[in-house]
Amino acid sequence: MRTLKHQVTLVSAFCIAFSSCDVIEGPFIEERVVSECSNKCRKILLEDYTGHMCGNCPRAAEKITELKNIYGDQLVVIAVHSGFFAEPSGTYFTNDFRTKTGNEWDEHFGNSAAGNPNGMVNRAGYSESSHILQYTQWAQKVEELLEKEPKAAIELETNYNANTYDLTVTTEIEILQTISNPLSINLVLTESNVVGYQKDYDANPEKIPNYQHSHIMRKSLTGSWGKDLGKETYQNRSLISNTFHITLDEKWLPENMSIVAFITKTNTLEVVQAQESPVIK
């Protein structure tokens, strides 16, 4: 009987040790202060894989708004419409926001196959197959990556001719820490405030006719995998300049468009730095 008592005590102690539980009584939301950011601070690229037929995707878009409110310019967003949910469908969902680059990224990284909505934050974890993040994981990853110092800075200069729809973009990269990897520069055009149908499982009716799509990737200026910058190692303080041209589609509204630039490690596709600038300043 004495042994039994000891055992009961042991078990109880074990239970108490386990039962340390954090019960949050409120408030549940953190008060965040958004700090101003210069051009040379670290900026994070968030790729949101989405589609107008994806009824859960508006939740991811809301998360982006929430994160943009916190991180401001330090978060650069591209909405990649790809996969089954992005296909034109029926009489309402006639928009086709898919792009060749978006389709190739999706095929390569496996985002829509993993179920939309999801995304990548700086394509972190790609080599270990942990790159696909649900929208609820984005904040944590952004927070984690922002703690690191920037390795490069990108300056963007745009020159748009409204008569010819020609856009010239000059990029100047400044290396802030020596990087021993081949690097590529990637440029894509995005458009916001595009009104079109979107499915939303939380809305009634689910088909929203005047949904405002944001950060839609329209076209890449550098192909799907970027323009290689030509070196194996980049020394601290070195500067690299490039100029790119594109003619905008007449249906796009340049005043709602941005140019998104990001540097990737050519071999791993991991994003080193990102930048965004409106087409018309």
Partner 1 sequence: MYEKLLCAPLFCIGSLFAQGTESGKISGNFQSNAQIYYEDSNLGIGPENLPEEKFLSNSFVNLQYTSNIFSAGMRYEANQNSLLGYDKRYNGEGIAYRFVRINRNGLDITAGNFYEQFGSGIILRAYEERNLGYDNAFDGIRLKYSPIEGVYLKSLVGKQRWYFDKSEGIVRGFDGEISLNEIFKALRDVRSQISIGGSLVSKFQQDLDPIYILPKNVVSWASRFNVHHGKWILGAEYVYKYNDPSATNNFIYKEGQALLANISYSQKRFGISFSGKRVDNMSFNSDRNLKGQEVSINYLPAFTKQHTYTLATIYPYGTIANGEMGLQAELSYLIKKGSRIGGGFGMGVLINFSNAYSIHQAQIDEKTSLGKSGTLGYTSDFFKMGDEKYFQEFNIELSRKINRKLKLIGTYVNTHYNSKVIAGYDYFGMIKANILVLETQYKLKARQALRTEIQHLSTKQHDGNWAMALVEYTVSPHYFFAIQNLYNYGNKSKKNHYPNLSAGYGKGTNRFTLGYGKQKQGIFCVGGVCREVPKSNGISLSITSSF
Q: Which residue has the tokens 């996969």?
A: 83
If binding is defined by CB under 8 A, does position 12 make contact with partner 1? no
Among 60, 142, 153, 175, binds partner 1 (CB under 8 A): 142
If binding is defined by CB under 8 A, does position 33 make contact with partner 1? no
CB of 15 to partner 1, least distance (A): 6
Q: Residue 209's Cα: distance from chain center in Å? A: 25
Among 39, 140, 235, 247, binds partner 1 (CB under 8 A): 140
Contacts of 193 (CB under 8 A, 6+ apart): 212, 213, 214, 253, 256
If binding is defined by CB under 8 A, does position 18 make contact with partner 1? yes
Which range binds partner 1 by CB under 8 A, 3-11, 42-50, 244-252, 264-272?
3-11
CB of 11 to partner 1, least distance (A): 6
Within 10 A of 73 (CB to CB), how many other CB atoms are there? 15
If binding is defined by CB under 8 A, does position 128 make contact with partner 1? yes
Instruction: State the number of binding residues for partner 1 (CB under 8 A).
Output: 45
Contacts of 180 (CB under 8 A, 6+ apart): 232, 233
CB of 168 to partner 1, least distance (A): 33
Sketch the per residue contact string, 160 through 179, with partner 1: x for CB under 8 A, - otherwise. Answer: --------------------
Exposed (0-12), middle (13-18) or buried (19+): which is 174, by Cβ within 10 Å?
Answer: middle
| CA dist 111 → 96, 115, 191, 270 (Å) | 18, 7, 21, 16
In angstroms, the first-to-last Cα distance of the chain is 83
- Reported as half-sphere exposure (CB side, CA atoms, 13 A), residue 41 has a value of 15
Instruction: CB nearer to partner 1: give 65 or 170.
Output: 65
CA distance 114 to 49: 10
Within 10 A of 240 (CB to CB), how many other CB atoms are there? 18
If binding is defined by CB under 8 A, does position 238 make contact with partner 1? no
Among 37, 70, 145, 253, binds partner 1 (CB under 8 A): 70
Exposed (0-12), middle (13-18) or buried (19+): which is 70, by Cβ within 10 Å?
Answer: middle
CB of 41 to partner 1, least distance (A): 16
If binding is defined by CB under 8 A, does position 36 make contact with partner 1? no
DSSP code, position 133: B
CB of 273 to partner 1, least distance (A): 20
Among 37, 40, 41, 139, binds partner 1 (CB under 8 A): 139
Sign of the dihedral defined by the CA atoms of residues 120, 208, 99, 112, in that order: positive
CB of 87 to partner 1, least distance (A): 11
Q: Which residues bind partner 1 (CB under 8 A)?
A: 3-4, 7, 11, 14-15, 18-24, 26-30, 32, 55-56, 66, 70, 103, 107, 110, 113-115, 128-130, 132-134, 136-137, 139-140, 142-144, 199, 201, 206
